A and B are shown apart, each in its own frame.
Chain A
Amino acid sequence: MAIIVNLDVMLARRKMRAKALAEHVGITEQNISLLRSGKVKGVRFETLEKICQALDCQPGDILEYQADAPG
């Protein structure tokens, strides 16, 4: 997929556990896990805002675009 979720990296940088982030954002740990593995179809602005607030970062620190290799 062209959009890479770097939530793992940010969690490691902030030394925060997924459970704590889930509690702060107000979504389940399972959804955080799905988001970390990139298995979601989309992220609400509201969720993104809370994640950025909790991790003190910008949306670009969490989401990254990588062009798919041709063919």
Chain B
Amino acid sequence: MKSPNTLALSRLCGRMKLLTRILQASLAIGVIYAGWSVITRPDTVSAWLADALSVPVTVTPATRLALSILAAVVAGLMFAGLQTVWQLFDRLQREKPFSYEVAALLRRAGLLALAGAVAGLVLPTAATLLATLANPPGSRTLSIGVGSDQMMLFLLAGLLFVLGHVMVLATAINDDYERIV
């Protein structure tokens, strides 16, 4: 018989899984739309970039390719992170919360969040540099910016990773403890 807490956790995990899938679908649609725009409407992409980076940009085919690869890496990272979170909620729904698999997934989610936070710091700098590389001399831009929101994300991602690692160690100790009668 399942306790009310277990049922509530299972219900919450079900909802979180659905939310994760919606986010993944939105991300996939965004990536497909961006990819299609890059191929069919390069001028619009240039306008987007100029608007987002607040600097005049010159988008050449090579720049477009480099920026697309950069965006694909970040999108892949986000997709992998969301998939890990989905797996985490799926395991939490089916297994006991204090299991090695759940802890390992939490640690992996933390690691991906940490990688995402690093990408969030590096991406604007790299994108600005790439988008302005073909500009005439004197109007190329290199901007490095670290905001409090990025630092907070970095801190939270690190905390999630450490928490996951502690959980992995704790579940190993718990497994040992359970083998003592």
Interface residues of A in 1-59 (CB under 8 A from B): 27, 31-32, 34-35, 39-44, 47
B interface size (C-beta, 8 A): 4
- CB neighbours of A32 from chain B (8 A): 181
- CB neighbours of B180 from chain A (8 A): 40-44
Cα A64 to Cα B179 with chains together (Å): 19
- CB neighbours of A39 from chain B (8 A): 179
- CB neighbours of B179 from chain A (8 A): 34, 39-42
Minimum CB–CB distance from A4 to chain B (whole Å) comes to: 16
Cα A27 to Cα B180 with chains together (Å): 11
Minimum CB–CB distance from B180 to chain A (whole Å) comes to: 4
A interface size (C-beta, 8 A): 12
- CB neighbours of B181 from chain A (8 A): 27, 31-32, 34-35, 40, 42-44, 47
B176 located at the interface, meaning its Cβ lies under 8 Å from any Cβ of chain A in the complex: yes
Cα A31 to Cα B178 with chains together (Å): 10
Cα A43 to Cα B179 with chains together (Å): 9
Interface residues of B in 125-181 (CB under 8 A from A): 176, 179-181
Cα A47 to Cα B181 with chains together (Å): 7
Minimum CB–CB distance from A42 to chain B (whole Å) comes to: 4
Cα A31 to Cα B181 with chains together (Å): 6
Cα A40 to Cα B176 with chains together (Å): 9
Q: Looking across the interface, which residue of chain B has its beta carbon closest to that of A27?
A: B181
Q: Looking across the interface, which residue of chain B has its beta carbon closest to that of A48?
A: B181
Q: Which of B176, B179, B180, B181 neighbours the largest number of chain A CB atoms within 10 Å of its CB?
A: B181
Given A27-B181, A32-B181, A42-B181, 8 new contacts (CB under 8 A): A34-B181, A35-B181, A40-B180, A41-B176, A41-B180, A43-B181, A44-B180, A47-B181
Please name 18 pairs of A and B residues whose Cβ atoms are closer than 8 Å in the assembled complex, sorted by A: A31-B181, A32-B181, A34-B179, A34-B181, A39-B179, A40-B179, A40-B180, A40-B181, A41-B176, A41-B179, A41-B180, A42-B179, A42-B180, A42-B181, A43-B180, A43-B181, A44-B180, A47-B181
